Amino acid sequence: MPYQALSDRGVTHPDVRRANLGLVLRHLRDHGPRSRASLAADLRMTRSTVSTLVSELIERCLLTDGPLVQSAVGRPGTAVELDGHAVCGIGAEINVNHVSTMALDLRGRVVGDRKLALDARSMDSTIVLGHLADLVRETVDRLDEEGVQTVGLTVGVAGLYDRTRDVLTHGPNLGWYDVPVGAILRQELGGSFPIVVDNEGNLAAAAEVIPGDAGRQDMLVLHGEIGVGGGIVSGGRLLRGSHGFAGEFGHMIVEPGGRQCACGRQGCWETVSGLRALLELAADPDDPIRNPTMALDDRLAEINRRAGLGDARTLQALEDVATWVGTGAAILVNALNPATIVLTGYYAAVGHHMRTAIEQALRAGVLAPDAGGTQVELSVLGFSAAVRGGATAALESVFADPTRVPRRSASAPV
């Protein structure tokens, strides 16, 4: 009989410890550094309990004592804060024209950032994954020399990733079908840290969660490039669906009998809200912004420039596309009632010219008054959202169970 994950198992005393260690760690992440005494007040624990928890977290190099904090009267407390110097999580991304990695420390700071340009379509998948493994190995080894332990790797791929079978079933952009990405990478990199593979859009969505921000716990994240995708966050957690295929918004049919889509269907949302629709509306075929060899950032900058100058055609194109974005988003808002819609990808770049029309279409298409209170925001993460989300997901395991990081010698006094 194969290993079967039991639905649940009994809670033991070490579980209590784990839960409380995680609670302290997450509280410091979500609400910033503070003294042991205020931690105790916030978390309704006794000061003695917090003291032992904090000292254990310090032994595990996850916290450090910080500056003294004085509050009105009494003995000042010593603030404790997250220690970024012991562990990191790594996020990676496999795209058509590059593979890249990003390492984040416990505080969410970038401590490693690699990118390798390649043409994935012309190469075998194992070769591409080998290159990615090299990038990861270099990052891990370098950080290891600095005493930083890698706690996990989360890889984002463009396509349908079946999490139940751990296989990329459909990666049309990469030309990959039924590739067991996770298994191949685990073989390449060994088992010193867990390796998880997920859909790129889902990871980018996860990156938009801001711990402690109520408006960022129920989100619809819309990612626009040539294709349109994204993710759904509910109660701070990513909604993946039964196989992990959730978030394929681009192929919702919003206009039956509408424009032909690359997927073979007609009227998919991305045919009217994707980057191609915007470019075709905004410019003639010989216009430089429709030159595919030009860098995307530059083309978007040019669109912004023209819109800023009041160019009628550009503004109209942005408005038309924005109306479709809002119309499609309204469908999802009726179903999901998110607190926030976060626009990423090219939407984030030119979104300030689209926002009004999006919000208008949203109010028109959502049953609940005022679009059910849903706010539209532009992402500030840029195109690194997916790798950042991957690294964050890897770090999440430490916040969930700090005992995954081994105890080291207590802080050596100098």
Nearest distance from C-beta of residue 365 to its own copies, angstroms: 5
What is the 8-class DSSP label of residue 338? -
> Smaller CB distance to DNA: residue 4 or 75?
75
Pairing of strands 149-157, 195-199: parallel
Is there binding between residue 73 and DNA (CB under 7 A)?
yes
How many other C-beta atoms are found inside a 10 Å radius of the C-beta of residue 377? 18
Is there binding between residue 160 and DNA (CB under 7 A)?
no
Under rule CB under 8 A, which residues in 238-297 are in contact with its own copies? 239-256, 263, 265
286: CB partners within 8 A, 6+ apart: none
Cα 21 from chain centroid (whole Å): 25
Binding window for its own copies (CB under 8 A); candidates: 84-92, 120-128, 212-220, 342-350: 212-220
Task: Indicate which single residue of 51, 78, 234, 304 sits in contact with its own copies (rule: CB under 8 A).
Answer: 234
Cα 63 from chain centroid (whole Å): 24
Q: Which of 64, 26, 102 is nearest to 402 (CA)?
A: 26
Under rule CB under 7 A, which residues in 19-38 are in contact with DNA? 20, 35-38
Is there binding between residue 64 and DNA (CB under 7 A)?
no
Q: What is the spatial distance between Cα 303 and Cα 298, in angstroms, rounded to a whole number?
A: 9
Is there binding between residue 360 and its own copies (CB under 8 A)?
no
Q: Which of 355, 287, 368 is nearest to 321 (CA)?
A: 355
Is there binding between residue 14 and DNA (CB under 7 A)?
yes
42: CB partners within 8 A, 6+ apart: 27, 31, 34
Nearest distance from C-beta of residue 307 to DNA, angstroms: 52
Is there binding between residue 8 and DNA (CB under 7 A)?
no
> Smaller CB distance to its own copies: residue 22 or 112?
22
Is there binding between residue 76 and DNA (CB under 7 A)?
yes
Task: Indicate which single residue of 25, 54, 232, 354 sits in contact with DNA (rule: CB under 7 A).
Answer: 54
Is there binding between residue 404 and DNA (CB under 7 A)?
no
Q: What is the spatial distance between Cα 229 and Cα 345, in angstroms, rounded to a whole number?
A: 10
Cα 58 from chain centroid (whole Å): 28
Tokens of 247: 């978030």
Nearest distance from C-beta of residue 108 to DNA, angstroms: 24
* Sheet containing strand 34-35, strands side by side: 34-35, 77-82, 63-69
336 with 298: CB under 8 angstroms? no
Is there binding between residue 284 and DNA (CB under 7 A)?
no
Q: What is the spatial distance between Cα 233 and Cα 174, in angstroms, rounded to a whole number?
A: 26
| Number of residues binding to DNA, judged by CB under 7 A | 33
Is there binding between residue 223 and its own copies (CB under 8 A)?
no
Which amino acid is residue 321, in one-letter code?
V
What is the dihedral angle through the alpha carbons of 155, 328, 287, 379, rounded to the nearest 10 degrees? Answer: -50
Select from its own copies, DNA, none the partner in contact with residue 345, using the beta carbon and a kind-dependent cut-off of 5 to 8 Å.
none
Angle (CA) 277 283 284, round 5°: 110
Select from DNA, its own copies, none the partner in contact with residue 241, using the beta carbon and a kind-dependent cut-off of 5 to 8 Å.
its own copies
Is there binding between residue 224 and its own copies (CB under 8 A)?
no
Is there binding between residue 51 and DNA (CB under 7 A)?
yes
> Smaller CB distance to DNA: residue 48 or 192?
48
Under rule CB under 8 A, which residues in 1-40 are in contact with its own copies? 6-13, 15-16, 19-20, 23, 26-27, 30
Binding window for its own copies (CB under 8 A); candidates: 118-126, 285-293, 371-379, 382-390: 371-379
Binding interface with DNA (CB under 7 A): 10-14, 16-17, 20, 35-38, 44-49, 51-55, 68, 70-78
